[in-house]
């Protein structure tokens, strides 16, 4: 195992231990072991000169900006010429050695380091001008914040979100229409956030694919040696094979066979001459550099017959067309359905029942219709919702036509909306699956959100339902009663306002000091000025709260709830505002670290897991301990205080403890 691999392993071990201790109130590692591993990581960082992003030894901190500033690239970032023909790629290579690597499908980012520190990160943008995303790059999962090389370093790479993380994030979104279409779209939105706390939660990774400059370094005219050097600086480098033209076909087959098991989204391969001088001597065209060539997967097309268009409603009223066709084998799996996304695409394809169509898997993963060979155009767009039979209407938004159910009482809308309402990050009511909600709505037990808190009116009938009984009913009732005690951010998220996620809901409630009336009456223009919100979200909120029915439902709901504020908003209480604490060792005055952490945060302070120059106080009952945290605090001149010291100086009233 290399030193960098050990650093990554130690980082994960320490982060998992901190998460268990601070967030889940459980110990998976004792203090001695934690300090030993922490010291080992710190020593390796000093030895290598590398500090990886997210390292427990540093605290980057979250930061929001009003806008992403623009910056012109020092040299234009050109697109690559491309082919789907393996022989053409082999001809490009010829007798020269070529590095053949994944063409990752994310967002290209340029990183600049000076004096060993990450100075800035800029997106590709239009190739000439990109957006500065330095704060966001600092919370990518694997970007080094510092590297051993002290000369200027500029490199390019792809920011990506793995399929496994993409699926987890989508699984938490109840509304089908609100789910992200692919990892690239999710990554693009995550990288370009105004609030990097949102970026941090998305698990963005960075894979270097080109070194632009490394002041004072000699690579002996080899791209591969540049890659190896980047690895030694702490970067993850895109996977590659070194081949000549004769080996291209076999290498492409190997990459193709690995696509289905690759957790990183890719849309092909890139070949680049290993000989730097030779590649540069070829110059470039007006559009493309001549030292690299992109290979796009030759899509496996299958002809089949369109048998049906299904219309799938969502909680927002959007009704998505889904093409159903005779099953075909694609990339090793049987496929019989593909989303058509909207009415504009359906019309453009001129789809008709019985048409002969060709289908493929985009990036060898997602089923799509490639072409309609018949183009009968006989699909009739319904004027009623397939669920409630109420009126459906085609509406045009940003030049895209989509079908919407306009019946406010549509059962499909209600089921999807209630599913989100009871979900874990919303009201967190266990025992109410989508199927159960469908039964309750169908029986007339539930018409609006507040009705869920009065299901006891139908206790006898519910107990008799299939899948229920006295025990499961009581479990549901307990969960409902527990859900009454909640926070405003959870309530706002649970309403299903378009474009409002968990993080946005927290930002909004913090901005308005958990004052619901102020939030309800805010204008789109006012809301759009909040960092991390913007115009689209602002318009969604204003539109939602101008609806009388939405407000009536919310008023009825609030009557059922016991809202509490997680951090006290009275500024006179915020005696720890601006102070940063680290807690270590065993506690005697508080039942666990979370209890002390919550008190500190309620008073405006911040608790981090490691001692840095930004730390105000280290809380440790053993103030004379020789632990690594105590040593670090003493080195930095940070005061070490006991629990009693903390209580005497900052929390005499110690409410709730």
Instruction: Region of 637 please: left (phi>0), alpha (psi -120 to 50) or beta.
Output: left
- H or E segment to which residue 480 belongs: helix 470-483
Distance CA 308, CA 382 (A): 13
Residue 640: strand pairing partners: 618
Torsion of CA 99, 102, 108, 113, to 10 degrees: -50
Distance of CA 135 to the CA centre of its chain: 16
Classify burial at 336, counting beta carbons within 10 Å of its beta carbon; exposed 0-12, middle 13-18, buried 19 or more: middle
Name every residue whose Cβ is closer than 8 Å to that of residue 136 and which is 6 or more positions away in sequence: 121, 190, 191, 192, 193, 196, 199, 204
DSSP secondary structure letter of residue 381: P
Token couple for 201: 């939660």
Distance CA 148, CA 231 (A): 12
CA triplet 294, 298, 300: central angle to 5 degrees? Answer: 155
CA distances from 588 to 287, 531, 592 (A): 68, 40, 9
Distance CA 384, CA 406 (A): 9
Name every residue whose Cβ is closer than 8 Å to that of residue 331 and which is 6 or more positions away in sequence: 259, 260, 300, 361, 364, 365
DSSP secondary structure letter of residue 379: P
Residue 629 is among the residues annotated as catalytic for this protein? no
Please, are residues 264 and 141 in contact by the beta-carbon 8 Å criterion?
Answer: no
CA distances from 19 to 27, 80, 138, 608 (A): 9, 43, 20, 11
- CB count, 10 Å around CB of 595? 14
Classify burial at 48, counting beta carbons within 10 Å of its beta carbon; exposed 0-12, middle 13-18, buried 19 or more: buried
Selected catalytic residue, list 8, 103, 414, 416: 103
- Where in the sequence numbering do the catalytic residues fall? 103
């Amino acid at each position: 195992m290399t030193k960098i691999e050990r650093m990554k392993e130690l980082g994960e071990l320490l982060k998992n231990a901190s998460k268990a201790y601070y967030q889940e109130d459980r110990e998976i590692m004792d203090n001695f072991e934690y300090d030993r591993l922490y010291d080992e990581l710190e020593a390796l960082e000093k030895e290598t000169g590398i500090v990886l992003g997210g390292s427990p030894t540093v605290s980057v901190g979250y930061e929001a900006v009003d806008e992403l500033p623009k910056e012109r690239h020092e040299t234009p970032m050109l697109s690559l010429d491309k082919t789907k023909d393996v022989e053409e790629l082999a001809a490009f290579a010829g007798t020269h050695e070529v590095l053949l690597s994944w063409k990752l499908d994310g967002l290209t980012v340029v990183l600049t380091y000076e004096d060993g520190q990450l100075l800035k990160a800029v997106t590709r943008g239009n190739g000439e001008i990109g957006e500065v995303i330095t704060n966001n790059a600092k919370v990518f999962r694997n970007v080094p914040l510092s590297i051993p090389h002290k000369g200027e370093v500029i490199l390019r790479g792809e920011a990506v979100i793995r399929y496994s993380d993409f699926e987890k994030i989508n699984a938490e979104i109840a509304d089908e229409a609100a789910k992200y279409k692919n990892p690239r779209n999710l990554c693009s939105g995550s990288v370009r956030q105004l609030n990097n706390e949102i970026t941090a939660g998305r698990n963005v990774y960075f894979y270097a694919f080109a070194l632009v400059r490394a002041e004072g370094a000699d690579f002996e005219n080899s791209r591969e040696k540049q890659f190896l050097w980047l690895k030694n600086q702490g970067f993850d480098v895109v996977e590659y094979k070194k081949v000549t033209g004769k080996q291209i076909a076999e290498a492409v087959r190997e990459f193709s066979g690995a696509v289905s098991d690759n957790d990183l989204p890719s849309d092909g391969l890139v070949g680049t001459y290993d000989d730097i001088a030779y590649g540069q001597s070829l110059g470039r065209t007006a559009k493309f550099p001549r030292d690299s060539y992109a290979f796009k997967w030759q899509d496996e097309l299958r002809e089949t017959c369109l048998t049906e268009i299904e219309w799938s409603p969502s909680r927002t009223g959007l009704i998505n067309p889904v093409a159903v066709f005779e099953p075909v084998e694609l990339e090793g799996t049987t496929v019989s359905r593909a989303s058509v996304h909207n009415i504009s695409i359906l019309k453009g394809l001129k789809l008709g029942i019985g048409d002969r169509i060709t289908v493929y898997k985009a990036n060898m993963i997602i089923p799509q219709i490639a072409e309609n060979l018949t183009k009968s155009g006989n699909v009739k767009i319904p004027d009623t919702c397939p669920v409630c039979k109420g009126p459906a209407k085609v509406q045009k938004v940003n030049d895209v036509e989509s079908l919407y159910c306009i019946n406010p009482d549509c059962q499909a809308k209600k089921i999807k909306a209630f599913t989100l309402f009871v979900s874990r990050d919303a009201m967190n009511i266990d025992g109410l699956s989508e199927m159960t909600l469908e039964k309750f709505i169908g029986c007339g037990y539930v018409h609006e959100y507040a009705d869920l808190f009065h299901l006891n009116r139908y206790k006898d009938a519910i107990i008799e339902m299939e899948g229920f009984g006295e025990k499961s009913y009581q479990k549901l009732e307990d969960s409902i009663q527990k859900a009454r005690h909640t926070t405003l951010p959870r309530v706002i998220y649970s309403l299903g306002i378009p474009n409002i996620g968990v993080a946005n809901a927290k930002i909004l409630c913090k901005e308005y000091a958990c004052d619901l009336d102020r939030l309800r009456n805010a204008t789109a223009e006012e809301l759009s000025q909040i960092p991390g919100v913007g115009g689209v979200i602002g318009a969604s909120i204003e539109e939602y709260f101008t609806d009388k029915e939405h407000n009536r439902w919310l008023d009825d709901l609030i009557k059922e709830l016991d809202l509490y504020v997680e951090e006290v908003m009275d500024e006179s209480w915020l005696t720890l505002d601006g102070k940063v604490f680290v807690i270590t060792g065993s506690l005697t005055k508080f039942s666990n670290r979370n209890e002390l952490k919550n008190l500190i945060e309620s008073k405006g302070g911040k608790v981090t897991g490691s001692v840095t120059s930004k730390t105000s106080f280290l809380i440790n009952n053993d103030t004379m301990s020789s632990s690594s945290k105590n040593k670090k605090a003493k080195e930095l001149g940070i005061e070490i205080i006991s629990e009693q010291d903390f209580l005497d100086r900052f929390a005499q009233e110690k409410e709730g403890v």
